[in-house]
Structure 1
Amino acid sequence: MTTSTTAEPSPAAPLLDLQALVVSVRRRRRLWCAMALVGLLVGAALAVLMPPSPTATTKVLVAHAQDQPNDTGTLIRTDVQLLQTTQIADKALKSLRSTAKPEDFMQDYRGTGLTNNLLEITVTGDSDAQAVARAQALADAFVTDHVQRMRATAQAEAKALLDQRDRMRDELAQVNKEIGGQSAGSDPKASATLESLFARRAELNSRIADFDQRAADARTGTPQVVAGTQIVDAPRALRHSLPKAVVTDAVIGFVLGLVIGLALAAVGTVVADRPVLRRDIAANLGASVIAELPRRSGRPWQRRRTRLTRERLTATLARTTRGSAEAVSLLELGCARNTGAIALDLARAVAAEGPVTVVDALPRPQLAARRQKPGDPTVIGAERAATLPPQERRIGVGSVAPGTAWTDLQYLGTRTVLVVRAGHGSAAWLHTVARQLADQHIPVIGVVLIDPDPRDRTDGTLWDGLHTALRGRSERPPRQPGPEPGPEPGPGHRRAERQPVWAARGPDNDQEAR
């Protein structure tokens, strides 16, 4: 039986991880909180620096000859559009004796149909008195124009009906004349003609009376329209409340700034592709997360928990350092100060067993330049690392940020612990770090996550490759009886490294990571 060595295809990753997106946006709360604050301040400033112009309003009741209970507002919308015409604007300006152009004046007022017969006119001006005068002039001009149009329509309708009546009368006179010229006799044909003339005369009389009635109704409807169209709410200036305007504009600016900030944070998160969840960081680096520490000391009630976590991490790293002759290094990505503090704690923990030296190879040497306190370990710069005797224990502190001299990392330690700040490096750069360390045969025994998300519940443990993980030390099989083991490997010996998770993704992704 043969065993296939072909790797099974991994499940397809989602195009957008909503959990990671939400966490990343929440971590960028400084951005969208700042945008919301800027929007609030800008809105409040605009309300103070750019107050609204003095405004006046009036309401006009508009009567229509074609009013119907089921009207959908077509007539009042027509009145609103008629208000926005140069004819009415020109009449209002003439009554105000103003030399402004009607086109410019039309930009200073607007009409709103409140109901089918109620029109509200809002006008702005340089002062409250001017705004009130403009509103009065506009209302009067609109009422006058509406009444004139209704009267002209009624007169035209009445004239058309009376003209039709006059034509019917002329036809009736012609019929009466024909009836007078006929004589009643025994001729059946003459009798039938006379009967048709009498019927035609009766029809014409009825139609003439109908036209008279319709013309009278048309004339009667005009006074109702004239009396019904009037100003029902006298022009008055609107009171402007500065506190209310400030609060309203500030709330609007706050909401707009918050929305824009959240959008920018979401877009920046998707474009930058910076992992923040422990499962993503562990998968990209090919090593498990062994500890989490805050970036700063935090609030007073959190300091005790942070101190206990740091002590447990120091004890774990100290056991790892004592159990092997290989040197251990701490390589940082976005958290040089935290990495230096961890290195000093580790050096103090192992100093009881013999002298230990901390090699500071950070881009900006922080440990070598600090003032040493009594009991602190010896700290030297990277340029003096070659002068240390091989048997002396060392702890290297370096960086894997862009610009790192990768070939120098093996002189800091043959094994390393990565101290990574969550959300600092992109996924592509984490791949690059893992590949470069693999090329240098430097196994990563664990990842210390700095500034993790407090609501992250993902698993940062990789359950394969126990020979490089710290937890694998307690899960090794017992030693089988057999020949005595060979001599202890020297300091130059390099431990075989397991294949990281990204190595099975193909050469294309590998090249991209480079």
Structure 2
Amino acid sequence: MTASETSEPSAAAPLLDLHALVVAVRRRRRLWCSMALLGLLVGAVVAVLLPSPPTAVTKVLVAHQADQPNDPGTLIRTDVALLQTTRIADQALKSLKSPERPEDFMRDYRGTGLTNNLLQITVTGDSEAEAAARAKALADAFVANHVRRMQDAADAEAKALLDQRDRMRDELAQVNKAIGDRSPGSDPKASASIESLFAHRAELNSRIADFGQRAAEARTGTPKLVAGTQIVDAPRAVRHSLPRTAATDAAIGLVLGLVLGLALAAVGAVVADRPVLRREIAANLGASVIAELRRAPRRPAGPWPYRRTWTARERLTTTLARTVRASAGPVSLLELGCARSTSVIALDVARALEAEGPVVVVDGLPGPELADSRQEPGGPAVVSGERAAAVPRQVRRLGVGSVAPGTAWTDLQYLGGRTVLVVRAGHGSAAWLHTVARQLADQRIPVIGVVLIDPDPRDRTDGTLWEGPHTAPRGHDEWPARWNGTGRPRAERPSTPAARVPDSDQEAR
């Protein structure tokens, strides 16, 4: 099986790489941590500047005629909905003698069904006394309305039963009139019809008695329901604790801010499409990651993290110095999103090469990062790109440039015939990394490797490109440029392939 065959399954990239998304979101922790902190502060400020209004609560026991043990709460939800009606609100306002509109008053209270028969009413007001008074008036209005509805329903049911009983009595009168003074044995020929009339009269008497009993029961059960509907918890003011309210609102703001920050970070990572994994950066640039270096913190937490960063920096310097020595012509360091780190690396490499002869660092950066770098007395000289032509041939040159947007691509060949890309993880988009690889291939500047700055510490992907189609989009068959000493590179077919620099990213970590 060839290398190209083994690389074919990886060519079909997934639509959404969850690993890369998680890494990108984690790298933007400043955003979602800031959003979470902002939500925390906003919640606390809202609790202080907008305190809860004075509130009173009361509880009402509601008895229903159709109460069932397995009721899922439909009846109490109906009571809550009836509480939010203008009729009950208007009755409560009339008892309070308030000119407020019922529609406005309905915004100041709410009902909550605690159980199938227990209703809690929460009312706000300008003061605790006013809130308690409004809660009592609202509870009384609800109880009166509920009692009136039950009585009206019972009266309507009793009236319907009594009307049915009266109709039965009229029919019974007609049957009695048809029977008259006859008896079942007085007329043998009509005995069958007389017996049916007597049976019908007995049935009517039974039904009349049943309707009368049911009408009496309908009226009798109403007082029990009326007595069961009452205020069981007198209106009382709710005490609000400012620290507790502030803590609750702050916690809610923290959670909402964190969720919003994570969502923004995820959406931004997907939209920006900035590779952060070694595997993605190497694939987009068409060159292997030969080393990596963590960005040193501004305020080291202790000597151990600082010592680890310094050790990784020394190893990186050794690796790049070995790469420059193995190259037949000048080598350049081209940065993307890490100009200052590239300047420091270039000076370290130049100092390491000074033991073998004079070294000059050609400053091709658009900014003053290299010129402002702290240089030791007697260290390597730094010249601008305009003065690079005056450097003697026997002096080793190390170019430093940039491949950021706005780069003059045709000037990169004067910095070096071969280059090492110094890229900050998550800085450039995938499209721009492709552009860099394509432009360098067009200029016939082979990429020796990629130095990754500020990689993700949990990245376990492989940044090495093996033989196969995973090379630069163009120029993977180009001849490497050799420096001819005249200020311009010339194309020359190498006799042996360039030695691959060992991957020291694990050592850097």
Fold similarity call, TM over 0.5: yes
Deviations 1:294-347 (A, max 9, x none): 222554312222222222222233333334441111111111111111111111
Between 176-185 and 90-99, report the one with greater CA deviation.
Answer: 176-185
Quick one: percent identity of the two aligned structures?
76
CA RMSD of aligned residues (A): 2.6
Taking a change above 3 Å as real, the CA distance of residues 77 and 315 of structure 1, as seen in their structure-2 partners, is closer
Q: CA shift at 1:249, angstroms?
A: 1.3
Q: Which residue of 1 aligns with 2:138?
A: 138
The CA distance in 2 between the partners of 1:293 and 1:489, in whole Å, is: 29
Q: What is the DSSP-based 3-state SS (H/G/I as helix, E as strand, rest coil) of the residue aligned with 1:290? A: strand
Q: What is the DSSP-based 3-state SS (H/G/I as helix, E as strand, rest coil) of the residue aligned with 2:235? A: strand
Deviations 1:384-420 (A, max 9, x none): 1122222322111111111111111111111111111
Residue identity matched to 2:244: K
Q: What does 1:181-260 align with in structure 2 at a 5 Å threshold?
A: 181-182=181-182, 187-260=187-260
Residue identity matched to 1:385: A
Contact 1:368 1:381 in 2 (8 A): no
Give the gaps of 5 or more residues in structure 1.
469-487, 500-514
The CA distance in 2 between the partners of 1:58 and 1:282, in whole Å, is: 68
Contact 1:293 1:310 in 2 (8 A): yes
Whether 2:326 is the aligned partner of 1:326: answer no
Q: What is the DSSP-based 3-state SS (H/G/I as helix, E as strand, rest coil) of the residue aligned with 1:53? A: coil
Q: Which residue of 1 aligns with 2:474?
A: none
Q: Which residue of 1 aligns with 2:272?
A: 272
Q: What is the DSSP-based 3-state SS (H/G/I as helix, E as strand, rest coil) of the residue aligned with 1:359? A: strand
The CA distance in 1 between the partners of 2:138 and 2:47, in whole Å, is: 29
Contact 1:291 1:309 in 2 (8 A): no
Between 370-379 and 101-110, report the one with greater CA deviation.
Answer: 370-379
Deviations 1:417-459 (A, max 9, x none): 1111111111111111112112222211121111111111111
Whether 2:410 is the aligned partner of 1:437: answer no
Taking a change above 3 Å as real, the CA distance of residues 195 and 393 of structure 1, as seen in their structure-2 partners, is closer
Between 201-210 and 409-418, report the one with greater CA deviation.
Answer: 201-210
Q: Which residue of 1 aligns with 2:164?
A: 164
Q: CA shift at 1:493, angstroms?
A: 4.3
Contact 1:274 1:425 in 2 (8 A): yes
Q: Which residue of 1 aligns with 2:74?
A: 74
Q: Which residue of 1 aligns with 2:310?
A: 307
The CA distance in 2 between the partners of 1:157 and 1:42, in whole Å, is: 58
Q: What does 1:40-51 align with in structure 2 at a 5 Å threshold?
A: 40-51=40-51
Whether 2:31 is the aligned partner of 1:31: answer yes
Taking a change above 3 Å as real, the CA distance of residues 209 and 397 of structure 1, as seen in their structure-2 partners, is same
Whether 2:466 is the aligned partner of 1:455: answer no
Give the gaps of 5 or more residues in structure 2.
472-481, 498-509
Q: CA shift at 1:28, angstroms?
A: 0.7
Q: Which residue of 1 aligns with 2:57?
A: 57
Contact 2:293 2:316 in 1 (8 A): no
Contact 1:410 1:440 in 2 (8 A): yes
Q: Which residue of 2 aligns with 1:293?
A: 293
Taking a change above 3 Å as real, the CA distance of residues 16 and 183 of structure 1, as seen in their structure-2 partners, is closer
Residue identity matched to 1:19: H
Taking a change above 3 Å as real, the CA distance of residues 334 and 177 of structure 1, as seen in their structure-2 partners, is closer
Q: Which residue of 2 aligns with 1:512?
A: none
Q: Which residue of 1 aligns with 2:500?
A: none
Whether 2:319 is the aligned partner of 1:316: answer yes
Aligned equivalent of 2:360, options 357, 360, 366: 357
Between 38-47 and 168-177, report the one with greater CA deviation.
Answer: 168-177
Q: Which residue of 2 aligns with 1:347?
A: 350
Contact 1:358 1:395 in 2 (8 A): yes
The CA distance in 1 between the partners of 2:185 and 2:309, in whole Å, is: 133
Deviations 1:245-283 (A, max 9, x none): 111111111111111111111111111111111122122
Q: Which residue of 2 aligns with 1:418?
A: 421
Taking a change above 3 Å as real, the CA distance of residues 261 and 180 of structure 1, as seen in their structure-2 partners, is same
Taking a change above 3 Å as real, the CA distance of residues 187 and 51 of structure 1, as seen in their structure-2 partners, is same
Moved over 6 A (4+): 5-8
Residue identity matched to 1:123: V
The CA distance in 2 between the partners of 1:245 and 1:496, in whole Å, is: 76
Q: Which residue of 1 aligns with 2:90?
A: 90
Between 326-335 and 195-204, report the one with greater CA deviation.
Answer: 195-204
The CA distance in 1 between the partners of 2:131 and 2:207, in whole Å, is: 54
Residue identity matched to 1:65: Q
The CA distance in 2 between the partners of 1:7 and 1:66, in whole Å, is: 74
Contact 1:365 1:381 in 2 (8 A): no
Q: CA shift at 1:202, angstroms?
A: 2.5
Whether 2:109 is the aligned partner of 1:106: answer no
Between 220-229 and 456-465, report the one with greater CA deviation.
Answer: 456-465
Contact 1:443 1:495 in 2 (8 A): no
Between 299-308 and 253-262, report the one with greater CA deviation.
Answer: 299-308
TM-score by length of 2: 0.87
Q: CA shift at 1:193, angstroms?
A: 4.4
Between 254-263 and 164-173, report the one with greater CA deviation.
Answer: 164-173
